[in-house]
């Protein structure tokens, strides 16, 4: 049975990939969207991790006891989740009408955007390196820095898009990208934040230029960018081991670790990415455990999300993350306690822990609705980079939503997008004061029924 389920998951992976490209071909969902990023994360953290676990015994710290019944239940929950997620995403919610509006906004030449990127990088430095030392506030500023630095990379990419043939602009954009990434490495070596900066850079390039290219050319560029991003992610992963205190590494320590990576480390890092931190098998373990060995915690992720901004110093009974609770419930002691080491429960694991009969449909539809709002605002803001770039400032967290701790990532997505938007507005005023940006005319919103190529032609002809 386990091998049949693994084959079914492989079929689901193929179906998801086909669906992503079909929706993009039909101009219903952009190829590079939060919808695509979430499904890519779902493939890694719930499907390929389960395939490697069931098919090749790569389970990690915890594994299911019953290899007949549990994988079958997990497969049913995965299928229902995907169906409800897609329904929640494609449904025309009434609130979407409020997002379909246009307006005047700032724009500028390449110099203005590069300067704005430098200002944003400085803001990110303050949030990540300086303000992070303030007690209690430091956690929020570190999360905000993730979005601000991703937006800084996006601004640099937007400036480069003004003239892709300029070696000078390319050099400055790439230097800003590397600088933002190095700042993100301070006191941290997390993959999501670092990957989010690269994805924010690619997000801006895609919407500034790539999406109006012929489909074949666009897909070729996206494939090249995807390969580069995957190599960088593999390199990051290869330098991380469970016993390393990577959260306390300095930038120099991180760079030294990267320079010492060997070929076998890269191979192990690539396998670690495909195993998705064993989130699939962990979800299966949660299905077996909660409601039986341990009671359900009704809608724990919603309670955890609401409690997120309250410091634990002020609320001793604040809900704990399931990622840490599972370390104790599963007696995972080989890598430290829950305060040091945590696991990836997977989004299905969260539903199994939070009373699945209600949590599964609620979380699936809720995530579909949330991501549709971001993508809807993006689609109606192609001519407003001060809105469009912040929408792509939390793609690292979006990719990890299926990994769990999902409530934490939902919170970080909100903080990153809002922080990036505010920082861009403040930085935009600085650059406008220097005369390198100006307020554009109020343009009509891009019609979602119009093809990308048609809209691009009209945009550059000045008719929209």
pLDDT confidence of residue 272: 65
3-state secondary structure of 107: strand
pLDDT at position 25: 87
Domain-embedded: residue 443:
yes
Residue 421 lies in a domain: yes
**Cβ count near 174 (within 10 Å):** 15
Total count of domains within the chain: 1
pLDDT < 50 regions, the chain: 241-246, 336-338, 448-453, 455-464
The confidence score (pLDDT) of residue 269 equals 60
Answer yes or no: is 4 within a domain. Answer: no
Please tell me the predicted confidence (pLDDT) of residue 234: 67
How many CB atoms are located within 10 Å of the residue 197 CB? Answer: 29
What angle, 0 to 180 degrees and rounded to 10, lies between the N-to-C axes of helices 356-379 and 69-90? Answer: 40
The pLDDT tens digits of the residues spanning 95-139 come to: 888 888 777 788 889 999 999 999 999 999 999 999 988 887 888
Domain extent for 153: 106-267+372-400+412-461
- Residue 324 covered by a domain: no
| Inside any domain, residue 182 | yes
Cα R_g (the chain), whole angstroms: 22
Looking at residue 139, what is its pLDDT?
Answer: 86
> What is the structure's pLDDT at 395?
95
pLDDT value of position 146:
94
Give pLDDT, residue 105: 84
Whole-number pLDDT of residue 428: 94
Residue 352 is assigned to a structural domain of this protein: no
Residue listed under structure tokens 């300029």: 166
How many CB atoms within 10 Å of residue 340? 12
Instruction: Look at residue 43 and tell me if it is in a domain.
Output: no
Q: Is residue 340 part of a domain?
A: no
């Amino acid at each position: 049975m386990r091998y049949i389920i693994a084959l079914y998951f492989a079929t689901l992976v193929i179906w998801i990939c086909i669906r992503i490209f079909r929706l993009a071909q039909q101009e219903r969902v952009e190829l590079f969207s939060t919808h695509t990023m979430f499904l890519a994360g779902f493939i890694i953290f719930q499907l390929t991790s389960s395939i490697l676990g069931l098919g090749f015994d790569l389970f990690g710290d915890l594994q299911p006891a019953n290899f007949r019944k549990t994988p079958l239940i997990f497969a049913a929950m995965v299928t229902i989740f995907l169906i409800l997620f897609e329904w929640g995403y494609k449904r025309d919610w009434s609130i979407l009408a409020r997002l379909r509006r246009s307006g005047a906004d700032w724009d500028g030449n390449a110099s203005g955007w590069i300067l704005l990127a430098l200002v944003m990088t400085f803001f990110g430095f303050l949030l990540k390196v300086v303000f992070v030392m303030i007690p209690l506030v430091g956690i929020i500023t570190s999360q905000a820095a993730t979005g601000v630095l991703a937006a800084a990379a996006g601004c640099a990419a937007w400036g480069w898009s003004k003239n892709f043939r300029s070696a000078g602009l390319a050099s400055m954009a790439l230097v800003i990208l590397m600088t933002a990434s190095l700042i993100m490495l301070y006191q941290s070596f997390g993959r999501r934040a670092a990957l989010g900066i690269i994805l924010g850079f690619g997000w801006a390039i895609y919407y500034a230029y790539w999406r109006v290219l012929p489909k074949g050319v666009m897909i070729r560029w996206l494939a090249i960018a995807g390969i580069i991003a995957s190599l960088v992610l593999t390199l990051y992963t290869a330098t991380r081991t469970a016993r390393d205190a990577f959260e306390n590494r300095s930038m120099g320590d991180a760079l030294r670790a990267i320079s010492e990576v060997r070929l076998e480390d890269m191979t192990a890092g690539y396998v670690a990415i495909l195993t998705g931190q064993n989130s699939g098998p962990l979800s299966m373990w949660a299905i077996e455990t909660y409601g039986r060995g341990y009671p359900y915690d009704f809608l724990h992720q919603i309670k955890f999300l609401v409690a997120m901004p309250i410091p634990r110093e002020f609320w001793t009974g604040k809900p704990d993350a399931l990622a840490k609770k599972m370390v104790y419930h599963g007696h995972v002691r080989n890598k430290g306690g829950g305060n040091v080491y945590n696991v990836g429960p997977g989004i299905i694991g969260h539903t199994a822990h939070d009373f699945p009969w209600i949590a599964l449909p609620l979380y699936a539809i809720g995530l579909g609705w949330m991501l549709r709002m971001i993508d809807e605002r993006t689609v109606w803001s192609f001519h407003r980079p001060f809105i469009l770039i912040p929408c792509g400032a939390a793609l690292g967290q979006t990719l990890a939503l299926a990994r769990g701790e999902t409530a934490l990532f939902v919170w970080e997505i909100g903080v990153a997008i809002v922080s990036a938007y505010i920082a861009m507005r403040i930085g935009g005023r600085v650059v406008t004061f220097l005369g390198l940006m100006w307020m554009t005319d109020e343009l009509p919103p891009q019609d979602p029924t119009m093809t990308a190529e048609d809209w691009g032609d009209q945009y550059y002809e000045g008719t929209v």
